[in-house]
Structure formats: C-alpha cells, structure tokens
Structure 1
C-alpha cells in the first residue's frame, strides 16, 4: 500500500483560521465499512517505537516551557483520538487537535464514501502564535513528514 502526499482537500480557513501550514497524505483502502472515527482510531492506536521515543523526548523538552504534553488534561476516552481531543466528527470527517500558547493544531481525517476506490486522507493544519511556535514547527517538521505516513499505513491493516 502506498501513502502519497496530496494537496490538502480542506478549506483551511474554515477549519483553522489563519493556518500558516497545511499538508495532507492519502492512502487507498479496501475496507468499505470504515468511517472517519475508526480510521483515526487505527491511525492513533499505536505509534512506531521511534515515534513514541520522539514524543517522550518532546514532552520532556516542552514541559518546562509550559506547553501541553500528551498526558495533560485528559478528557473521557470517547472524546480523544490517541493524545488529541476530538473537535468535531461526522461519519466521513473527524477533526482533532488543540490550541496552545505557541500554536494551534488540527488533524483532519477524511474518508471518501464507498465506491470503486476508497481513500483516507490525513490533513495537518498549524497556526503559530509566536517565535516558539515557529521554532517548534520547524524542529518537528522532518519528523512529522515521517510519522503521518507511518500512521496512515495502519489504517489499511
């Protein structure tokens, strides 16, 4: 199965006003019953060990700066996808993310209706607020471009 980068298929202004960064990756699947929540759950159910290690390092480094870590402020599990709070949800689109002091973040998981080819697209949107947000985005970007495709591959399993 191939994950490919695509033009973000969303209205970034409507989903995160002022977003300065957007990218999207897509995978084709055979599961005709998959909805957006289940696709997002499959993506976030487990991360590659190297991604978990990076998240631990990230949490250690940003905690002294007062930024949110993956264990902070948990809400009931149904309102979370992995470490991200669900913002909104329909059967074909789930939006998760949060606002923080340094940046606002959204991940949008879209599932096309059943047809000859079924696709799942993960779109990431980021709006930075200050130099810390811009620096953070620059530092994590190379890892983001590896992690999102790895997570999307789990949808087709």
Structure 2
C-alpha cells in the first residue's frame, strides 16, 4: 500500500478521516479518463465481490442501512462522458470528475465514503491510485467499519487486477 498522492483532490478529505487507504497499479494508458478506468473496473467486477456485496446488503438491511446494490451495477452502454457530477454511478454518486481524477461518494447517517481513482501518466503507461477515505459519524458507522475494513483490503487490490497490464 502506498500513500494518497498530494496532487490528488481526495488527499484533502483524508485529514481527520476515521479510515483511509490507497492501492496502486501500473496499466497501459491510452489517455482514458479516470472515470473510464473506474467504469472498466466496475464492469469487470469478479463474481466473488458481487457475492460479498449481496451478503453485505442482506445483513445491513436488518440494521436499517441501505442496500447499495453491486459494484458491477453500471449501465453497460453509458460512457464516462455521459455522467455529470451528482449522477449515480453504480453504488456511488459522482462527486468530482476531471480527466486525471474521479471521486465517487456514498453518504448516509453513519458514514461518508469517498473513493478516488487518480491517474499519473507516464507515456503509454500510467500509475492508477485507488484511494478510499471514510469519515464515521456514529457508533454504528464504527461497528460497520470493523467488518468492512478487512474485506476492503482484499477487494480493492483485486479490482485493480482487472486493469490491462503495462
């Protein structure tokens, strides 16, 4: 695991966060946007991740938390240019979008979660930083994070493997 890049807009959200992490991968780069990269990853989400999301949704619904759906619940024919800030992008809401960084968010009364995909181009390759920042609002949010944190550390690196190798 590496640190969140200072140039990334999400780095400012990491201050006083209850949880933050960052994973990286080097991939072939053809000037695609950060949102293009996220959409590619989400659409190729492995079945075991979708199973875990389904399990999560069934369990947390008993405690009044919302059903997020599945990471792969992305409209198949919608491209990155079709999305505007405030739109739903699968399980997240689009919070910020530039060519080199996308920040997606999910907020409720327990947590504020922001996920960033930040691109650091280097010719025909790029380092992709997948960063997550969580601000917890109450005890239920802390309890939830006890269970989510270990799974998150498996899921994010696994999803980055879906990127084409450099």
Please name the residue that 1:155 is paired with. 163
Residue deviations 1:90-148 (CA, integer Å, cap 9, x gap): 00000001211111101000011343641111000001111111111111111111100
Q: Distance in 2 between matches of 1:137 and 1:115?
A: 38
Cα separation, partners in 2 of 1:151 and 1:81, compared to 1, 3 Å? farther
Contact 1:37 1:94 in 2 (8 A): yes
Please name the residue that 2:43 is paired with. 45
Where does the alignment leave 5 or more consecutive residues of structure 1 unmatched? none
Cα separation, partners in 2 of 1:50 and 1:21, compared to 1, 3 Å? same
Aligned counterparts, 1:1-157, within 5 A? 5-9=1-5, 10=8, 14-15=12-13, 18-71=16-69, 78=83, 79-115=87-123, 117-156=125-164
Q: Distance in 2 between matches of 1:28 and 1:105?
A: 25
Cα separation, partners in 2 of 1:13 and 1:147, compared to 1, 3 Å? closer
Residue deviations 1:51-96 (CA, integer Å, cap 9, x gap): 111111110111132222114xx9x973333321111100000000
TM-score, with normalisation over the residues of structure 1?
0.84
Contact 1:29 1:156 in 2 (8 A): yes
Cα separation, partners in 2 of 1:16 and 1:57, compared to 1, 3 Å? same
TM-score, with normalisation over the residues of structure 2?
0.80
Where does the alignment leave 5 or more consecutive residues of structure 2 unmatched? none
Q: Distance in 1 between matches of 2:94 and 2:138?
A: 25
Q: Distance in 2 between matches of 1:127 and 1:32?
A: 34
